[in-house]
A = this chain, B = another copy of it.
Amino acid sequence: MLKFPYCNVTDLNQALAQCRFVGLLGPLASRRQSPRAVVSCSPSSSEFSLTPVQAVMSCQQQVGSSLVNRLRLGGLTEDGLSYKEKFIIRGFEVGINKIATIETIANLLQEVGSNHAQSVGFSTDGFGTTPTMRKLHLIWVTARMHIEVYKYPAWRDVIEIETWSQNEGRIGTRRDWILNEVATGEVIGRATSKWVMMNQDTRRMQKVSDDVKEEYLVFCPREPRLAFSEKNNKSLKRIAKLEDPVRYSKLGLKPRRADLDMNQHVNNVTYIGWVLESIPKEIIDTHELQAITLFYRRECQQYDVVDSLTGLELTEGSKTVSVGTNGSATATATTREDDHDCHRFLHLLRLSSDGREISRGRTEWRKKPTR
């Protein structure tokens, strides 16, 4: 079982707000279509046991005829256990150097997860709960997101993203992604995320019951399928809390109106942007982000003010040390990092008002390639 170091009930009390990703995992929960109804899409299905693929394909004949489904460059894979979609990188999705921003990558991961949910008949309300979950007022909330980008797509490149979800531990599910550059077939990125089930009324985490599992496991790979091999999985690495004084900071960040998503909270892609705000300019100018891990701990509302703190991360053997402005290990860390043209940082997003932690994260940066 994957470790889930500090995401306890109290920490997650308000994690509900990470609604940008809420619902993209919910496996079978269409408002219109119960799991049984999915199977019964096939006229005679109540008499027969259908495979997931048959159930899905049969359902798609009903729901897949809509305009949007016809026009999408995506659909379920042959076995019905994952979903792939192609995207053309648009002009407004690239930044400096004409390459896609990390926010664009995160947005597209969200999009493909959501479209996967829709393609198997999940609810399209942004929550994607199963019927049992809805009955019990349970929802999915994002607890962790980890993205690695090996090569950023450029303006007008076409990428294909595959995604699938599966059970993870007693309280969670997991969604993974693999990003391919279509022209070359090259894997250009991978991502994984963890989701937990929470009671909407008590705001407490709750074990995923067998009832709920039954509802979504039919659409998950039979054997564990992981975008990152477990033995070298940075997404699971413990993230030390940054303590003041930190080396870099950008204080007083405010959500803009466009940062609010359909669930009326600041969407979690904005958090990525806030992390970037406190990365030193000399790194932004010369390096590009190769990996980001974010643990989501608390929601952010429209009128919250946020501080973004960044410190160097020094890795010594298996021990991770965060280094502030007065940390004696700084020089050593810098030397080590420079040796590898790679920089590693730890991040903390907190409410300016009372210092409560919103998110903690970790980023890795490599030298910008010559384009």
Say whether A331 faces chain B, with CB atoms less than 8 Å apart: no
Q: Are A273 and B261 in contact (CB under 8 A)?
A: no
Q: Are B276 and A182 in contact (CB under 8 A)?
A: no
Say whether A1 faces chain B, with CB atoms less than 8 Å apart: no
Say whether A169 faces chain B, with CB atoms less than 8 Å apart: no
Q: Are A101 and B262 in contact (CB under 8 A)?
A: no
* Interchain nearest-CB distance for A32 vs B (Å): 14
Say whether A90 faces chain B, with CB atoms less than 8 Å apart: yes
Say whether A327 faces chain B, with CB atoms less than 8 Å apart: no
Instruction: In the complex, identify which listed stretch (A65-73, A135-143, A205-213) lies at the interface while the others stay far away.
Output: A65-73
**Total identical chains:** 2
Binary per-residue interface labels of chain A (348-365) against chain B in the complex, 1 for a CB within 8 Å, 0 otherwise: 000000000000000000
Interface residues of A in 255-275 (CB under 8 A from B): 256-258, 260-262, 264, 267, 269, 273
Q: Which residues of B contact A273 (CB under 8 A)?
A: 256-258
A306–B256 CA distance with the chains assembled, in angstroms: 14
- With beta carbons under 8 angstroms apart, the residue of B86, B110, B264 that contacts A96 is B264
Q: Which residues of B contact A276 (CB under 8 A)?
A: 256-258
A70–B111 CA distance with the chains assembled, in angstroms: 22
Q: Which residues of B contact A262 (CB under 8 A)?
A: 91, 94-98, 155
* Interchain nearest-CB distance for A84 vs B (Å): 14
The chain B residue with its CB closest to the CB of A88 is: B68
- With beta carbons under 8 angstroms apart, the residue of B91, B96, B156, B261 that contacts A68 is B156
Q: Which residues of B contact A91 (CB under 8 A)?
A: 20, 110-111, 114, 126, 262
Q: Are A67 and B258 in contact (CB under 8 A)?
A: no
Q: Are A258 and B95 in contact (CB under 8 A)?
A: yes
Say whether A329 faces chain B, with CB atoms less than 8 Å apart: no
Contacts A67-B182, A183-B67 given; indicate if A111 touches B92 (C-beta within 8 A).
yes
- With beta carbons under 8 angstroms apart, the residue of B73, B98, B267 that contacts A92 is B267
Say whether A40 faces chain B, with CB atoms less than 8 Å apart: no
Give 8 closest A-B pairs by Cβ, nearest first. A92-B107, A98-B262, A91-B114, A90-B111, A68-B156, A257-B276, A103-B258, A258-B273
26 A-B contact pairs sorted by A residue (CB < 8 Å): A20-B92, A67-B158, A67-B182, A68-B158, A71-B86, A71-B88, A71-B158, A72-B88, A90-B111, A91-B111, A91-B126, A92-B107, A92-B110, A92-B261, A95-B257, A95-B258, A95-B261, A96-B261, A96-B262, A97-B262, A98-B126, A103-B258, A126-B155, A256-B276, A256-B277, A258-B276
